[in-house]
Structure 1
């Protein structure tokens, strides 16, 4: 060890950060139900290639043993346009709460995700009552392009996934010239781009199986433990102070 480096940690609350025990990740509880995957897409066009790509992804997921649901963004109001009790908002939030993983599939428009895609994500809160509907769940990101291949949208989706505290898997899909990759039957043609979607869905299912029962351990954060302890201490001390004043 560098002689100029010490192990002194004066800023650390050692009671809130014990030495790491790897056994905490050996969860004896193993869920047996099929992984629950929600798919969102970013276009309401009659022939939406982001929807068609999501439908192909859903077929692959079901082949891999997953339970899939897809949200139709038509009639979803703009964020802040109405209250969260709007039927479409409530439907979306219920689905996000239900799922254990998600697929976000968006077209690239003007070098970015569509407003329809962003609106769906914006309607999902970080906290919903005592539940954090996205935190610790898995996410796969996909985009379809009208022209040459780009990764602008999947990169943006990754930023949002991190902000929503989702476990975004390493693999991703970007389909260039999507209009040429789907036949008149609206099915994706065999190609390396189709194979990549298979890869992404396979990886998503694996990550979901591996992490869904470990959410309490994966989401247990030092900063939140310190904050919770401070809040509890303040409440207890305030109660004691009020009690003392009452007694006198």
Structure 2
């Protein structure tokens, strides 16, 4: 399967980017293709439905998600929600991009957990006609430590990621049937 991964963080070396790249490696090790679209590296113009020309990054994002079998979206939690860059990217996408696809939501928070941002991501996914994975991943506080090889230092976080990704991939396979 082809899995699109959207990184909705803007800080260099953000824990959101680190956890999503780790997820991409886990997906790759399971024999699937994971394509990471980092909104820090490929910024999009502000969504404007009146724009007639499509920015090259926007076109790349739309094509990536359209042709993916499933999607992972991730954001740090800012003021109890997702980042503006992730919301802006999702505004460019619609039901034809997400319809009937499994979606895994991932959050990184400075505090204990990023539940509010996860709930917002799941609401957006439902409105885009995607299918939320029953699992989600939230890393917060001391759990946000990574080794130089990009793996979470916490064995509990590693187990949580593997469990959530396995559940997500099973759902994606059933939906793609």
TM value normalised by structure 2: 0.91
1:180 and 1:199 map into 2 onto residues whose CA distance is: 18
1:115 aligned to 2:84? yes
Indicate the residue corresponding to 2:21 in structure 1: 55
Indicate the residue corresponding to 1:99 in structure 2: 68
2:44 and 2:11 map into 1 onto residues whose CA distance is: 14
Higher normalized contact order (CA 8 Å, seq sep 6+, divided by chain length):
2
The SS at the match of 1:68 is strand
1:116 and 1:172 map into 2 onto residues whose CA distance is: 20
1:194 aligned to 2:163? no
Aligned residues: 174
Alignment deviations for residues 149-173 of structure 1 (CA, whole Å, 9 cap, x no partner): 2311111111011111111110111
Indicate the residue corresponding to 2:48 in structure 1: 80
Question: 1:112–1:156: 8 Å Cα contact kept in structure 2?
Answer: yes
CA distance 1:188–1:153, change in 2 (3 Å): same
1:54 and 1:98 map into 2 onto residues whose CA distance is: 19
Tell me the C-alpha RMSD between the 2 structures: 1.7
Greater mean alpha carbon deviation, residues 105-114 or residues 144-153: 144-153
Return 5+ residue gaps in structure 1 as ranges: 1-34, 127-131, 214-248
Alignment deviations for residues 185-217 of structure 1 (CA, whole Å, 9 cap, x no partner): 54321321221111111011111111113xxxx
Question: 1:79–1:122: 8 Å Cα contact kept in structure 2?
Answer: yes
CA distance 1:179–1:44, change in 2 (3 Å): farther
1:100 and 1:178 map into 2 onto residues whose CA distance is: 33
Question: 2:65–2:97: 8 Å Cα contact kept in structure 1?
Answer: yes
More strand per residue? 2
1:75 and 1:180 map into 2 onto residues whose CA distance is: 24
Return 5+ residue gaps in structure 2 as ranges: none
CA distance 1:151–1:84, change in 2 (3 Å): farther
Query: Highest CA radius of gyration, 1 or 2?
Result: 1
Q: How far did 1:183 drift?
A: 3.1
Q: How far did 1:95 drift?
A: 0.2
